[in-house]
Chain A
């Protein structure tokens, strides 16, 4: 189970990294072209927005698979026995939240597709943005579900050490 979690985390992280690299390369290229050749790339803002969406939403499952969520764990000191149960409740709530967001997002995305919504500069169909949003959130819901049913008496532990633990 843990291995599958790591593989999924690496794949999602890898795709998100590709989008991040695209953001970096595009912004630097735009600055260089503008400074050296006085030429500005068209639609950079829109492409950056799309790549930011890819970099964020496709890394969302990793937040759950790596147990990287930002939370307050003060209760661990006072009531340690409750932690496994609280972890499971939090994961169940996370799944429910993402399911609602995906369900409602799907309706809005379908409207965007039917009305042929496009971006102002490049004319990109906004359905692409929606696709990234919905895929990322669906995968995040699955990741939270995976952590919920990982089958561990101590409750779900991180797949990999947290950033704080590694520093």
Chain B
């Protein structure tokens, strides 16, 4: 059996195990280990298996993950979401689609701090959807808005998913966070435009809501300061070079705890719950990272990425069509795989290919992250859609998918913009250090 055939067999074994409900971490480790043994023999494979877990115990860069998760857990627990929604509502008040746009604005800022699309969608499905329905919004559109806006959390910095990409692709996290800034806010802007377009085409779905008085607006806007401060410390602290990503995560998490206690929004019991939630979530994610480290060693041994690059050169396909193929791969994977696993499994294979056709690793990180946001709202396993449906069982899941369709179009517009204007992602990293 040739090495390439073993490579294919290893990937096939991985996919079969994933479909058969084997935890993705274990599927990655087992297929990686068996593939490695098939190429290099049992003794080297066993030695490799013994050493990889230690790699996890000596990887400082991984420490950014639990600290950002903790910051998000504390922000969620300390009721910062409701105040933020009211503040964003005050900003958009008087404009048609104000509540939907307030949801998008609030999800952008809250998602940046929280870092979890599921938690963001869950939080705002409780805060925003009842408010939208109370004012006569179409339930499917209301659900679709929050499900889509929740996905912004994986793109807008500081994102845990971007941190995971930086580890697996060995790209500077500072540059990635800088690269994600403009596309993140452009996507939020495209979502706002989507709401206005839908309001124009289907006015019955989005009734006009009476505007708030200016004094009321000002009072509500002040409620934004907590998350605004955390965002400033976590993002601009890194951009200005005050902190490393790990330090920024720790300082922002600490600040979130101080704000939580100072405003009496949190108790010691809440803090312990947040920390428990953080270690559980971190362990689930880092277990997949450990499995991916084993699988990556196997992939390196197969020379799979090199063969793929050679094939791409020989086939004389234009970079555009190769990129379209990569995009199709992520759309397919996004329908059944979660975003962390998608990145950990594919990036060791796709990044060398994309590098070979002239695209930068930082740019590709943003491209992959945007593709993951699409996967979060596409059937059959659109995770944020499921979260909305779990909390609003009266809205059928297919109708929520229908509500996300206009926003899905906005996602693809961003992908097109990224391909046409790579500087959109690469300009800021060129002026930020790291």
CB distance from A119 to the nearest CB of B (A): 9
B57 touches A53 (CB 8 A): yes
Residues of B within 8 A of A8 (CB): none
Interface centre among B63, B118, B336 (most CB of A within 10 A): B63
Are A45 and B49 interface neighbours, CB within 8 A?
A: no
Tell me whether B231 is interfacial, beta carbon within 8 Å: no
- Beyond A13-B280, A104-B46, whether A56 also contacts B18 by CB under 8 A is no
Chain B contacts of A132 at CB under 8 A? 57
Residue numbers in B under 8 Å from A49 (CB-CB) = 57-60, 63
Given A62-B283, A72-B24, A83-B21, A31 and B251 contact (CB-CB distance below 8 Å) = yes
From B139-147, B284-292, B310-318, B351-359, the one touching the partner chain is B284-292
Contact check, B381 vs A74: say whether CB atoms are below 8 A apart.
yes
Contact in complex: A24, B23 (CB < 8 Å): no
Q: Which chain A residues (56-85) contact chain B, with CB distance < 8 Å? A: 56-57, 59-60, 62-63, 66, 68-76, 83
Assuming the contacts A49-B58, A71-B23, A101-B50, asked whether A31 and B66 have C-beta atoms less than 8 A apart, the reply is no
CB-based contact B285/A53 at 8 Å: no
Q: Which B residues touch A76, using CB under 8 A?
A: 21
Whether A100 is near chain B, meaning CB under 8 Å from some CB there, is: yes
In the complex, whether A167 has a CB less than 8 A from a CB of chain B is yes
Q: Are A23 and B243 in contact, with the CB atoms below 8 A?
A: no
- In this assembly, does A137 line the interface, its C-beta being within 8 Å of a C-beta of chain B? yes
Taking CB as reference atom, which chain A residue is nearest B53? A133
Question: Are B60 and A45 touching (Cβ within 8 A)?
Answer: yes
Q: A24-B67, A74-B19 are in contact. Are A104 and B47 (CB under 8 A)?
A: yes
- CA distance in complex: A49, B26 (Å): 23
Residue A118, interface by CB 8 Å: no
- Return the chain A residue nearest B58 by Cβ: A49
Name A133's contact: one of B21, B57, B62, B285 (CB within 8 Å): B57
**Per-position 1/0 for B1-34, Cβ under 8 A of A:** 0000000000000000111111111100110010
Chain A residues with CB under 8 A of B47: 104, 108
Complexed CA–CA distance, A62 and B24 (Å): 16
8 Å CB interface, A109-156 against B:
129-130, 132-133, 137
- B21 and A73 contacting across the interface, CB-CB below 8 Å: yes
Residues of A within 8 A of B253 (CB): 24
Q: How far is the CB of A164 from chain B (nearest CB, A)?
A: 7
- The reply to whether B54 and A108 form a contact with Cβ atoms under 8 Å apart is yes
B87 on interface, CB distance cutoff 8 Å = no
How many residues belonging to A are interface residues under a CB distance threshold of 8 Å?
Answer: 60
Q: Is residue B119 contacting chain A, with contact meaning CB distance below 8 A?
A: yes
* B70 within 8 Å of A (CB atoms): yes
Across the interface, do B283 and A27 meet the contact criterion of CB distance under 8 Å?
no
B333 to chain A, nearest CB (A): 10
User: Which B255-299 residues have a C-beta within 8 angstroms of A?
Assistant: 272, 275-288
Say yes or no: B336 contacts A72, CB within 8 Å.
yes
**Contact call B246/A48, Cβ cutoff below 8 A:** yes
A151 CA / B340 CA spacing, docked (Å): 32
Chain B hits for A45, CB < 8 A: 60
**Bound complex: CA of A72 vs CA of B340, how far in Å?**
12
Residue of A62, A75, A89, A104 near B279 (CB, 8 A) is: A62
Q: Are A60 and B118 in contact (CB under 8 A)?
A: no
Residues of B contacting A87 with CB < 8 Å?
Answer: 21
CA distance A94 to B246 in the complex (A): 31
A115 CB, nearest partner CB in chain B, Å: 14
The residues of A that contact B51 with a CB separation of less than 8 Å are 104-105, 108
Given contacts A24-B253, A24-B254, A72-B336, contact A105 B280 (CB under 8 A): no
In the assembled complex, which residues on chain B have CB atoms less than 8 Å from the CB atom of A106? 50
B20 and A94 contacting across the interface, CB-CB below 8 Å: no
* CB within 8 Å for A90 and B22 given contacts A56-B286, A108-B54: yes
18 further A-B pairs in the complex, CB-CB below 8 A; given A48-B60, A49-B57, A108-B50:
A13-B280, A24-B67, A28-B251, A31-B250, A45-B60, A49-B58, A53-B56, A53-B57, A56-B286, A62-B280, A68-B281, A68-B284, A70-B284, A71-B18, A73-B21, A74-B380, A104-B51, A165-B390
Listed in ascending order, the chain A residues whose CB lies under 8 Å from chain B are 13-14, 16-17, 20-21, 23-24, 27-28, 30-31, 45, 48-50, 52-53, 55-57, 59-60, 62-63, 66, 68-76, 83, 86-87, 89-90, 93-94, 97, 100-101, 103-108, 129-130, 132-133, 137, 163-165, 167
Name 25 A/B residue pairs within 8 A (Cβ), A-sorted: A13-B279, A14-B276, A16-B283, A17-B272, A20-B278, A30-B247, A31-B251, A45-B60, A48-B63, A53-B56, A56-B66, A57-B56, A71-B23, A72-B337, A75-B20, A75-B21, A83-B21, A86-B20, A89-B22, A93-B30, A101-B49, A104-B49, A105-B50, A130-B54, A133-B53
